[in-house]
Amino acid sequence: MRELLQEPLLVSAPVNVRYLTGFESTNAAILVEPERVRLFTDFRYAERAREVEGVEFEETKRYLYSDLAERLSERVAFEADALTYANYEFLREGGVELVPRRSLVESLRAVKQSEELEAIRRATEVTNQAYERLAEEQFAGRTEKELAWRMEQLFHDLGADALAFPVDVAAGPTAASPHAVPGDRVVEESDLVLVDAGAMLEGYCSDCTRTFAVGEVSDSLRDVYEIVRRAEQAGLEAIRPGVSGRDADVAARAVIEDAGYGENFGHGLGHGVGLLVHEAPVLRLESEDVLAAGNVVTVEPGIYLSGVGGIRIEDLVVVTDDGCEVLTSFPKELVSVG
């Protein structure tokens, strides 16, 4: 972190404080200086804060930023994506000279260290097993909500610490919206059911989507599924160090566009995954990110047909020196459920 500094950096985003120090709190900040790191938090967290190694702990009042305004006097960089306007004003009125910076800690977080990769592998292994078990369940006759709760229960049974994000189950036409909320729709024979879910383990996330067929589905839906599967494969083959997030997206998108469904793939190809389920790097047309070994990203093309349904296939991969390693193991052929 110190190598990236042009001035001391005030880190406000809780996830970045946690990444740099291992310290978890909703009311903490750190100041990274060339020779030291200062950790600020209030009485409620002080006991744990004193145990953090490699930092100088300073106990603050409950209102962290009005207190910091008195403690900081020099020129300080702040996280433009994290510091609220109200807290910015506290600091400015206290005479702190503030320089906005972006993506400093995020750029470090994007390249995973080996222990982070291990946690993501474990979270993905739990996710893989949860999908295996879900595929043995009866889908027809249960609501989207019931299936979502069942998936949460499977994660719990398999040893997840938490969910990486709320489980999404979308049946039939519900899935035409990429981020639907599970509702009371009862799953019917011949529906496609999209399930997007991921476990969290040791603070790290996993992310997977599969689309299931309930019994037999129409040939036309099978054909669309096959297009998404080929697009996902093209996306995986494009992933390697030096490739831009844009070019990876284009590789998968071309398959869907060539099949005439370009308008029906309205989101990006994927995103980084780590302490947060959405982080750098980003794989989409507007992205300026360039992939590097150690990135962990999703590859998740989809086709959404209004009034009919949606199909998405999402794998989680690690960028390696010459390509990528796919962590998700659940089959990608269209799996039929009861």
Residues of this chain that interact with Zn ion (CB under 5 A) are: 196, 207, 209, 298, 314
- In whole angstroms, the minimum distance from the beta carbon of 243 to Zn ion comes to 19
For the chain, give the secondary structure using H, E and C: CHHHCCCCEEECCHHHHHHHHCCCCCCEEEEECCCCEEEEEEHHHHHHHCCCCCCEEEEECCCHHHHHHHHCCCEEEEECCCCCHHHHHHHHHCCCEEEEECCHHHHHHHCCCHHHHHHHHHHHHHHHHHHHHHCCCCCCCCEHHHHHHHHHHHHHHCCCCEECCCCEEEEHHHHHCCCCCCCCCECCCCCEEEEEECEEECCEECCEEEEEEECCCCHHHHHHHHHHHHHHHHHHHHCCCCCEHHHHHHHHHHHHHHCCCHHHCCCCCEEECCCCCCEEEEECCCCCCECCCCCEEEECCEEEECCCEEEECEEEEEECCCCEEECCCCCCCCEEEC
Cβ proximity to Zn ion, 152 vs 196, nearer residue: 196
Nearer to Zn ion (CB atom), residue 21 or residue 298: 298
Cα distance between residue 321 and residue 18, in whole Å? 28
Name the minimum Å distance from CB 298 to Zn ion.
Answer: 4
The Cα–Cα gap between 107 and 334 comes to 36
Which lies closer to Zn ion via its Cβ, residue 156 or residue 278?
Answer: 278
Cβ proximity to Zn ion: between 4 and 163 the closer is 163
CB nearer to Zn ion: give 28 or 201: 201
Between 121 and 271, CB nearer to Zn ion: 271
> Which of 72, 134 has the CB closer to Zn ion?
134
